[in-house]
Amino acid sequence: MKAELEQIRREAEQVLACVSNLQDLSNFRVEYLGKKGKLTQVLRGMGTLPLEERPKIGQLANEIRAYLEEEIEKRKKVLEEEALSQRLRDEVIDVTMPGRRHYRGKLHPLNIVLNEIKDIFLGMGFEIAEGPEVEWDYYNFEALNIPKNHPARDTQDTFYITENILLRTHTSPTQIRVMERQKPPIKIIVPGRVYRSDAVDATHSPIFHQVEGLVIDKNITMCDLKGVLDVFAKEMFGPQTKTQFRPHHFPFTEPSAEMDVSCTTCGGKGCRVCSYTGWIEILGAGMVHPKVLQYGGIDPEQYSGFAFGMGLDRITNLKYGIDDIRLLFENDIRFLEQF
């Protein structure tokens, strides 16, 4: 019987070495260790053995059982490893194939740029104010020191609704509205849509967008105007950006200025975009005219301030290199998805 057991062990060792998958392994276990397995069957013959031999044989059988269990476990690990590697090999995919598309939209480029502008000024302590697009002549012109029959009205060809109501030609009327309802310090920007009776071409649109700014407090100087706008330009167009201020005229500011930034395309060396001047005009600004402060109910002897206004469409076009304002209003998806 001992020899029989030894025979089983040798045989099992040989068979086990050839088992190549988990199913065969499981069959192997049943064949040798199962209730009707070879080992069990041999042990059934134990009754025929002399009593004193039984423990020895029993012990041997247990050893063999334990040994085989251990070998099966080892083999199982190896086979599982192999099976997993095989699966991983089988599951190779072409990772360069396109992903399944999740559709996400985008903000309009005008509003992407507006958000940037808002963030820059929020960071400098400005709040955001809004005003109506259909506006009183009084707020759009009169209170901004542009009386009826003033020639400055020519530069802002106006859509009228009635004699006294119009489509605002700039965001500046909101200056007065804010002054009327808020005491200094005032620090606001006013983004909004404006209207001028211009025929459409690559650089003109009867509807466009401005961002107005207004600061009123004690002791505000032209140095502050320059400082704030210089920070804005550097944040907007990059830290290497230079600014230049030229005298200009607006009825609602005095002194008035236009601000140029070093060309965003050529950096100031001169190119087609900047008409070979190295500079690009991006906004108008100035110290708030004393008459305008008075219209807003603020004493110009006590307070001073500055205001500025920029064309959002123009800045957007500059930033993205868009050469035709009409693209902004066409809303071709192939255009919108670029930003």
Partner 1 sequence: MLVPLKWLKEYVEIDVPVEQLAHSLTMTGTKVEGITKQGEGISNVVVGKICEIHPHPNADKLVVCHVDVGDRKLQIVTGAPNVKEGQLVPVALDGATLPGGHKIKATTLRGVESYGMLCSGQELGLTDEDYPGAEVDGILILQEEYPLGMDIREALGLDDQVLEFEITSNRPDCLSVVGIAREASVALNSPFEPPHIEVKPGVGDVNAEAKVLVQDPDLCPRYCARVVKDVKVGPSPLWMQRRLASAGVRPINNIVDITNYVMLEMGQPMHAFDLDKVAGRTIVVRRARDGEKLVTLDDKERVLNGDMLVIADIEKPIGLAGVMGGANTEITDGTKNILLESALFDRGIVRKTSKALGIRSEASLRFEKGLDIHNAMAALDRAAQLIQELGAGTVVEGVIDVCHGSLENRVLEISWKRVNGLLGINLSADEMADVLRRLEFKVEVKGEYMRIEVPSFRQDIEGVADIAEEVARIYGYNNIPMTLMEGTVTRGRKTGRQKLMDRVKEVLVGTGLYEVVTYSFTSPRVYESIGITDPQLIPKTVKILNPLGEDQSIMRTTLIPSLLEVLSRNRNRGMERCQIFEIGPAFLPKSLPLEDLPEEKPLLTIAEYGPDIDYYDLKGKIEVLLDEFGLLAEAEFVPHVHPTFHPGRTALLKLNGRETGLLGEVHPKVAQNYQLEERILVAELELDVLLNSAKEERKYRPLPKYPAVERDLALVVKKEVLSAQVERCIRELGGQLLEKVELFDVYEGAQIPEGYKSLAYSLSYRASDRTLTDEEINALHDSIVKGLEERLGARLR
Interacting residue ranges for Zn ion, rule: CB under 5 A: 263, 265-266, 271, 273-274
Can you tell me the distance from the alpha carbon of 296 to that of 186, in angstroms, rounded to the nearest whole number? 12
Least separation, in Å, of the C-beta of 126 and partner 1?
Answer: 5
Which residue from 136, 141, 237, 295 is in contact with partner 1, where contact means CB under 8 A? 136
Which residue from 47, 50, 99, 151 is in contact with partner 1, where contact means CB under 8 A? 151
Residue with tokens 């006013």: 190
Least separation, in Å, of the C-beta of 116 and Zn ion?
Answer: 21
C-alpha closest to that of 15 among 61, 60, 80, 71: 71
CB closer to Zn ion, 37 vs 268: 268
Give residues 177-196 in contact with partner 1 (rule: CB under 8 A): 185, 187, 193, 195
Rule CB under 8 A: say whether 299 interacts with partner 1. Answer: no
How distant, in Å, are the alpha carbons of 181, 196, 234, 253 from that of 146? 21, 16, 33, 11
Which residue from 190, 228, 236, 261 is in contact with partner 1, where contact means CB under 8 A? 228
Can you tell me the distance from the alpha carbon of 237 to that of 219, in angstroms, rounded to the nearest whole number? 29
Can you tell me the distance from the alpha carbon of 84 to that of 76, in angstroms, rounded to the nearest whole number? 12
Give residues 91-110 in contact with partner 1 (rule: CB under 8 A): 103-108, 110
Rule CB under 8 A: say whether 223 interacts with partner 1. Answer: yes
Which residue from 32, 126, 141, 295 is in contact with partner 1, where contact means CB under 8 A? 126
Render 276-292 in DSSP notation, one character per residue. Answer: TSSEEEEEEEEEEPHHH
Least separation, in Å, of the C-beta of 266 and Zn ion?
Answer: 3
Rule CB under 8 A: say whether 267 interacts with partner 1. Answer: no
Can you tell me the distance from the alpha carbon of 241 to that of 267, in angstroms, rounded to the nearest whole number? 8
Partner from Zn ion, partner 1, none contacting 45, C-beta within 5 to 8 A by type = none
Is-contact 205 238, C-beta < 8 A? no
